[in-house]
């Protein structure tokens, strides 16, 4: 498969060598800071085409201005979300729901899920989230003066919350962490195998809950009605898989990037430790500066967009890591100001698909940082180690080894 094929309708002067998936030229980034590296696109044109911004061999248009991204994300008629990313890894074609549906079907399923991820629901989960954070961090603190943050804290923390959300027992934690890691960081063999395992698990859980209903998320889904009918097996699977994928690596990566920033900026670390009331506002700035999601849309018709001849079927990338460093949108976008006000960042997307889990995600990140800073003294990145970041639809971070004394 040629990955540098440029379709004939793209003017050569609009083509750039750029990738949010991996190198060339972009990732891994200098000083382990891919966000700073990506911010350089603002020195260039507002839209360009990259044949390298791809995992499946097809390049994308890249929209750099936050205001243009909002135009794309708001216009689902011209820029569709229908892509089946997860299913295509299995050679199948079904949507993750509601993420890969367009209006009007999208709205029907979004309304169904909305109450399950409301601010009120996030508050109900809060004691369990805090209890889990404390248990994990206490264990880390008792074990010594160093830890692998993603392995020992970020992933077990977020997977545990996912299990509680689904109403599943904690003893399956390690299995789920393994699946999540293979899915996100695995090679071309491990990734489809993990996807297959997750689908089989969701299908099996749905069958169980249909037979023996309990008070949990999956029972709600299998009993739910849309337009006067029950959900099909494919719809139940599409929802289950999305909740698994949407909530795991996004929150874990956010916690990882936040702790990496604080490990390198001891003044900010100390400020938040001594004044924890600042953490909620600081998390918004860290979400702005270190967002993780690249959204991709498919053009449903030919359109000229800011001088770019986008043609039906073209992929269009709206990357939150680009929008959030737009100088037309944020004053000094590359300066991290933990007290930044009116921070209307794009970390959770924009338009009809704006993240449904943002309330839960915010609580997880804030509580994770509160408990970490309350229990772990001044920490730095361990000498001789360096975090490894990865690109993709979701940016990730691993080998984040922190040390304290
Ligand atoms: C820091 C953590 C998170 C970030 C940065 C994030 C980011 C995003 C973004 C950018 C979108 C829009 C995607 C698009 O338009 O194509 C989205 C959608 C979504 N997210 Fe999140 N997310 C996070 C955590 C979560 C959590 C914890 C859940 C739930 C358990 C969740 C559930 C969803 C769902 C269901 C959608 C689809 C909404 C729709 O299509 O209407 N997310 N997320």
pLDDT of residue 207: 94
Here the tokens at position 294 are 């690249």
Percent of the chain at pLDDT exceeding 90: 73
Give ∠ CA 129-181-357 in degrees, rounded to 5: 40
- Please report the atom of ligand 1 found closest to the CA of residue 297: 16
| Centroid of ligand 1 to alpha carbon of 246 (angstroms) | 6
For CA atoms 350, 352, 353, 357, the dihedral sign is: positive
Pocket test for ligand 1, best of 355, 363, 364 (most atoms within 8 A of CB): 355
Average pLDDT, the chain: 91
What confidence tens digit (pLDDT) does each residue in 102-146 have?
999 999 999 999 999 999 999 999 999 999 999 999 999 999 999
What confidence tens digit (pLDDT) does each residue in 257-316 have?
999 999 999 999 999 999 999 999 999 999 999 999 999 999 999 999 999 999 999 999
| Centroid of ligand 1 to alpha carbon of 345 (angstroms) | 14
Pairing verdict, β 396-398 and 388-390: antiparallel
| Centroid of ligand 1 to alpha carbon of 242 (angstroms) | 9
**How far apart, in whole angstroms, are the C-alpha atoms of residue 182 and residue 192?**
9
Q: Which fold has domain 12-397?
A: Cytochrome p450 (1.10.630)
Local confidence band at 33 (pLDDT 50, 70, 90 cut-offs): confident
8 Å CB contact between 361 and 6: no
Least Cα distance to 266 among 358, 373, 367 occurs for 373
Q: How far apart are the first and last CA of the chain?
A: 51
| Pocket flag, ligand 1, residue 348 (CB < 6 Å) | yes
User: Residue 82 pLDDT more than 90?
Assistant: yes
* Annotated domain spans of the chain: 12-397
Here the tokens at position 185 are 């960081």
Provide mean pLDDT across the span 328-342.
Answer: 97
Here the tokens at position 43 are 């020195």
What confidence tens digit (pLDDT) does each residue in 181-198 have?
787 767 778 888 988 998
**How far apart, in whole angstroms, are the C-alpha atoms of residue 33 and residue 25?**
13
User: Residue 319 pLDDT more than 90?
Assistant: yes
Among protein residues, the one whose CA lies closest to atom 37 of ligand 1: 99
**How far apart, in whole angstroms, are the C-alpha atoms of residue 404 and residue 254?**
21
Half-sphere exposure of 101 (CA within 13 A, CB side): 16
**How far apart, in whole angstroms, are the C-alpha atoms of residue 269 and residue 35?**
20
pLDDT of residue 298: 96
208-214: long-range contacts, CB 8 A cutoff, minimum separation 24: 214/167
| Centroid of ligand 1 to alpha carbon of 245 (angstroms) | 9
pLDDT of residue 1: 43
- Please report the atom of ligand 1 found closest to the CA of residue 73: 15
Local confidence band at 246 (pLDDT 50, 70, 90 cut-offs): confident
Provide mean pLDDT across the span 6-20.
Answer: 94
Among protein residues, the one whose CA lies closest to atom 6 of ligand 1: 348
| Pocket flag, ligand 1, residue 293 (CB < 6 Å) | yes
**How far apart, in whole angstroms, are the C-alpha atoms of residue 113 and residue 353?**
12
| Pocket flag, ligand 1, residue 242 (CB < 6 Å) | yes
């Amino acid at each position: 498969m040629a990955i540098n094929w440029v379709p004939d309708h793209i003017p050569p002067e609009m083509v750039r060598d750029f990738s949010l998936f991996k190198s060339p030229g972009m990732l891994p980034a200098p000083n382990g800071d891919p966000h700073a590296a990506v911010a350089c696109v603002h020195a260039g044109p507002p839209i360009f085409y990259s044949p390298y911004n791809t995992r499946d061999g097809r390049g994308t248009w890249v929209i750099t201005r936050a205001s243009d991204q909002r135009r794309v994300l708001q216009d689902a008629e011209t820029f569709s979300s229908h892509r089946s990313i997860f299913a295509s890894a299995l050679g199948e074609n079904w949507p993750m729901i509601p993420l890969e549906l367009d209006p009007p079907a999208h709205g029907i399923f979004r309304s169904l899920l909305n109450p399950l991820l409301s601010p009120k629901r996030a508050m109900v989960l809060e004691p369990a989230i805090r209890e889990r954070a404390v248990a994990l961090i206490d264990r880390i603190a008792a074990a010594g003066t160093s830890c692998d943050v993603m392995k020992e804290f970020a992933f077990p923390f977020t997977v545990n919350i996912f299990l509680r959300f689904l109403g599943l027992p904690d003893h399956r934690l390690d299995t789920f962490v393994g699946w999540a890691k293979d899915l996100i960081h695995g090679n071309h063999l491990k990734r489809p195998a993990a996807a297959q395992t997750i689908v089989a698990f969701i299908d099996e859980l749905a069958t169980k809950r249909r037979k023996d209903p309990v008070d949990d998320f999956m029972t709600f889904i299998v009993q739910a009605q849309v337009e006067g009918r029950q959900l099909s097996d494919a719809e139940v699977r599409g929802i289950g898989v999305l909740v698994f994928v949407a909530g795991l690596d996004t929150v874990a990566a956010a916690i990882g990037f936040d702790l990496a920033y604080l490990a390198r900026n001891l003044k900010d670390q100390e400020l938040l430790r001594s004044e924890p009331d600042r953490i909620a506002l600081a998390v918004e700035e860290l979400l702005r500066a270190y967002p993780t999601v690249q959204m991709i849309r498919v053009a449903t018709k030919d359109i000229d967009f800011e001088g770019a001849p986008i043609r039906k079927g073209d992929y269009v990338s709206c990357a939150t890591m680009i929008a959030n460093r737009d100088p037309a949108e944020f004053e000094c976008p590359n300066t991290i100001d933990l007290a930044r006000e009116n921070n209307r960042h794009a970390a959770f997307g924009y338009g009809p698909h704006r993240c449904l889990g943002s309330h839960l995600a915010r609580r997880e990140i804030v509580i994770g940082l509160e408990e970490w800073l309350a229990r772990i003294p001044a920490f730095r990145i361990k000498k001789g180690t360096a975090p490894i970041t990865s690109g993709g639809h979701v940016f990730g971070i691993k080998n984040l080894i922190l040390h304290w004394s």
